[in-house]
């Protein structure tokens, strides 16, 4: 049967690029973008778009029926830093939207679900380096608690109701096309913008806080690989560890200096430092490699070259 895809949260950082990728892959008319807010011109004009509040079950169901949707990608969420400011709102958005989509799958109204988890499921008691797939998960943030809870429900819906749900624990994602909104890893995007605009950046994390990161193209490719993999290959129904890069602000600064030698960085850690300190510095993704052939492609220096090249034309 033909795929008909609904992307909830399509105007956001991942959603924008995922929509564009899936429209190329499956045909623009088969990929319905929706969000509570408008997206960029390409998103709004490149195929069907609908306004949707991800907490509104009736509206999601109506769109699923209207477009005979088979697969839902639920990308709407409140990220780590914003969620600390609005704990109950974050919990409500992150959890209710997931239940809505899982229940549609349980009732066989859709066939397949993609839902992103995060490195935020880990906490200070987790082994920090090369964090294994199965390990201690005691998150200290509202966002991390919502993602960990979501993972348990995904596995439960798979075990109890046979729901075909697939998930990735994304690291910090970096892209020139869209800005992140309200995360702890956002500095790794802001730094490129500021390097070009001002030649200087004041970083809200310390210089030596290593975090797992990934260039957006790798993340989109991983998502596609996971969703295309035969169901019997998927041994993890909570969420897969996924790894590409691991760097701190000093290392990304060195990488930028290869292009902008005068670039300077200063450090003013704020409340996000404690969040970053609770997360791993690198991730073991052996299971994703084994189950669906995952391998990252883009290095820090390659990413820096791509980011600066494209952002330069945006700022000219």
Binding stretches for ligand SER (CB under 6 A): 79-80, 118-120, 143, 170, 172, 183-185
Task: Say how far apart CA 306 and CA 296 lie, in whole Å.
Answer: 16
50-53's contacts with Cβ under 8 Å and 24+ in sequence apart are 52/8
Question: Which of 122, 208, 205 is CA-nearest to residue 170?
Answer: 122
Nearby residues of 268 by Cβ (< 8 Å), 6 or more positions away = 202, 203, 204
Which C-beta is closer to ligand SER: that of 70 or that of 135?
Answer: 135
- Give me the residue label for tokens 């935020």: 120
CA distance from start to end of the chain: 46
Task: Say how far apart CA 260 and CA 199 lie, in whole Å.
Answer: 8
83 phi, psi to nearest 5 deg: -65, -30
* Least Cβ distance, residue 148 to ligand SER (angstroms): 12
Element (H, E) at 164: strand 164-166
* Least Cβ distance, residue 75 to ligand SER (angstroms): 12
Task: Say how far apart CA 173 and CA 180 lie, in whole Å.
Answer: 8
Which C-beta is closer to ligand SER: that of 30 or that of 146?
Answer: 146
* Least Cβ distance, residue 291 to ligand SER (angstroms): 21
Nearby residues of 45 by Cβ (< 8 Å), 6 or more positions away = none
Which C-beta is closer to ligand SER: that of 94 or that of 253?
Answer: 94
Which C-beta is closer to ligand SER: that of 64 or that of 220?
Answer: 220
Among 67, 73, 143, 201, the active-site one is 143
The DSSP letter of residue 121 is: G
Residues in the chain: 316
Which C-beta is closer to ligand SER: that of 60 or that of 216?
Answer: 216
* Least Cβ distance, residue 141 to ligand SER (angstroms): 8
Nearby residues of 301 by Cβ (< 8 Å), 6 or more positions away = 255, 258
Active site residue 156: no
* Least Cβ distance, residue 79 to ligand SER (angstroms): 4
Which C-beta is closer to ligand SER: that of 104 or that of 213?
Answer: 213
Please, which residues bridge with residue 202 across strands? 266
* Least Cβ distance, residue 227 to ligand SER (angstroms): 19
Task: Say how far apart CA 191 and CA 39 lie, in whole Å.
Answer: 23
Please identify every residue annotated as catalytic.
143
């Amino acid at each position: 049967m033909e795929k008909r895809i609904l992307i909830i949260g399509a105007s956001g950082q991942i959603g924008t690029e995922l929509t564009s990728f899936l429209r190329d892959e499956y045909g623009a008319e088969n990929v319905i973008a929706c969000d509570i807010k408008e997206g960029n011109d390409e998103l709004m004009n490149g195929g069907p778009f609908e306004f949707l509040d991800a907490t509104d079950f009736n509206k999601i169901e109506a769109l699923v029926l209207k477009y005979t949707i088979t697969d839902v990608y639920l990308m709407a969420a409140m990220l780590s830093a914003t969620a600390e400011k609005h704990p109950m709102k974050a919990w409500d958005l992150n959890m209710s939207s997931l239940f809505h989509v899982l229940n549609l799958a349980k009732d066989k109204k859709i066939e397949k679900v993609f839902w992103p988890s995060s490195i935020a499921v880990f906490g200070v008691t987790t082994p920090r380096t090369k964090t294994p797939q199965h390990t201690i998960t005691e998150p200290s943030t509202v966002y991390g608690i919502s993602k960990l809870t979501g993972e348990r429900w995904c596995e439960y819906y798979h075990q109890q109701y046979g729901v075909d749900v697939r998930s990735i624990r994304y690291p910090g994602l970096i892209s020139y096309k869209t800005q992140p909104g309200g995360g702890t890893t956002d500095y790794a995007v802001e730094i490129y913008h500021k390097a070009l605009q001002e030649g200087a950046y004041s970083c809200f994390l310390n210089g030596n806080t290593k975090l797992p990161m990934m260039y957006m193209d790798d993340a989109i490719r991983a998502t596609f690989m996971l969703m295309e993999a035969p169901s019997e290959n998927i041994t993890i129904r909570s969420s897969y560890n996924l790894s590409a890069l691991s760097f701190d602000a000093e290392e990304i600064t060195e990488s930028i200096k290869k292009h902008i030698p005068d670039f300077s960085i200063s450090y003013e850690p704020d409340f996000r430092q404690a969040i970053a300190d609770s997360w791993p510095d690198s991730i073991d993704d052996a299971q994703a490699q084994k189950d669906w052939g995952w391998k990252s492609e883009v290095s820090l220096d390659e990413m820096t070259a791509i980011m600066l090249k494209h952002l330069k034309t945006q700022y000219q």
